[in-house]
Structure 1
């Protein structure tokens, strides 16, 4: 019974669950309310324009719509190389900067970034929130394996398979909700993967300050 209540509390996202709220009726209503917000009405298929109401049909409609919307444009590698070759020398990274951006991730750096993560951010498909990640990273038994995972990703490009898994959540906009154009897709990435990108982002911002014009507001 207690285990079931704990599971319901976690699913309900109640921050104060440790204070002793154990009403199963309340928790079930909270879960039901949150679940109803994620219900999507029948969708119009982007190819044949028929209204899809079954789960498989709606998944197929969404997959086709967003695969067409986010298909990458062809890359002109010659033009990209020419652009990079034309950059003036003062916009190249110094040897010190190159070593800094690829240096091994330290434990203090890891703890700093995970502690700065938004505590109420939605987790990815594994369901692990930043609060739990913060506790795991600080546990002495996890220190070595966590550092090994992050540094393997940085130095040799070996990523946990879960880092490449995302969940797309659709948020309604104004208009006809049977039209997928009126849904805003949000990609939910696993929190441990986002910590890795935050570390890289912090390093890049630290270096970019000396390379970009003061009139540019991005990356500052």
Structure 2
């Protein structure tokens, strides 16, 4: 049964063939960022940016592998926030994300229909909240 599930999802999420000419058109027509904006976008994220990202995050969502929720981060932000900013700055410098940001819990959620059919299950990745906070801070900056 595991083999059938693996084969089904591997086929479902395998990349479609791409046309080289279409890729060239896409890349050539992408807008560019000015040098001044590029320099601003590449600055390290600040504690204020992380704080704003956390403030705007939805609550009552599933946590990742560490089990820490947005509500937990809100309650202990004075302690966790500065450490998150330091860890993220180190990650930007080294080019390697923390292990918690490189892992996810995969879960299958039922959709409508016969639940004995694999097509009626939707895979989702549950990411850790520290990664979600950083991603939100980056998106707000953009």
- State TM-score, norm by structure 2: 0.83
The one of the two structures with greater contact order (alpha-carbon pairs below 8 A, sep at least 6) is 2
Structure 1 unaligned segments of length 5 or more: list them. Answer: 1-51, 205-220
- Alpha-carbon displacement from aligned partner over 1:31-57 (angstroms, at most 9, x marks no partner): xxxxxxxxxxxxxxxxxxxxx4xxxx4
Indicate the residue corresponding to 1:24 in structure 2: none
Name the SS of the counterpart of 2:7 in structure 1.
helix
Superposition TM-score, scaled by structure 1 size:
0.56
Are residue 180 (structure 1) and residue 118 (structure 2) matched? Answer: yes
Structure 1 position 62 matched with structure 2 position 5:
yes
Q: 1:80: how far off? A: 3.5
Query: Is the partner of 1:131 in helix, strand or coil?
Result: helix
Cα-Cα RMSD: 2.4
How far apart, CA to CA, are the structure 2 residues paired with 1:76 and 1:135? 50
**How many pairs align?**
142
Q: 1:63, 1:133 → 2: CA distance?
A: 35
Which structure 2 residue ranges, 5 or more long, are not aligned? none
Q: CA deviation at 1:145?
A: 2.9
Once the two structures are superposed, residues 174-210 of structure 1 have per-residue CA deviations (whole angstroms, 9 ceiling, x without a partner) of 2211111011222211111111111121122xxxxxx
Cα distance in 2 for residues equivalent to 1:154 and 1:101: 13
How many angstroms apart in 1 are the aligned matches of 2:95 and 2:75?
A: 26
Distance in 2 of aligned mates of 1:153 and 1:78: 36
| 1:126–1:64 CA distance, 2 compared to 1 (3 A) | farther
Q: In 1, distance between residues paired with 2:131 and 2:65?
A: 12
* Structure having the higher Rg: 1
Instruction: Give the conservation status (yes or no) of the 8 Å contact 2:52–2:137.
Output: no
How do residues 1-220 of structure 1 correspond to structure 2 at under 5 angstroms?
52=1, 57=2, 60-74=3-17, 80-81=23-24, 83-87=26-30, 91-139=31-79, 142-204=80-142
Instruction: Give CA deviations for 1:85-121 in whole Å, capped at 9, x if unaligned.
Output: 355xxx3211221122211111111111112211101
Instruction: Please tell me whether the aligned partners of residues 111 and 134 of structure 1 are also in contact (alpha carbons under 8 angstroms).
Output: no
- Indicate how the Cα distance of structure 1 residues 178 and 124 shifts in structure 2: closer, same or farther if over 3 A, else same: same
1:109-157 alpha-carbon deviations (Å, 9 max, x no partner):
1111112211101111221111112233321xx4543212212333442
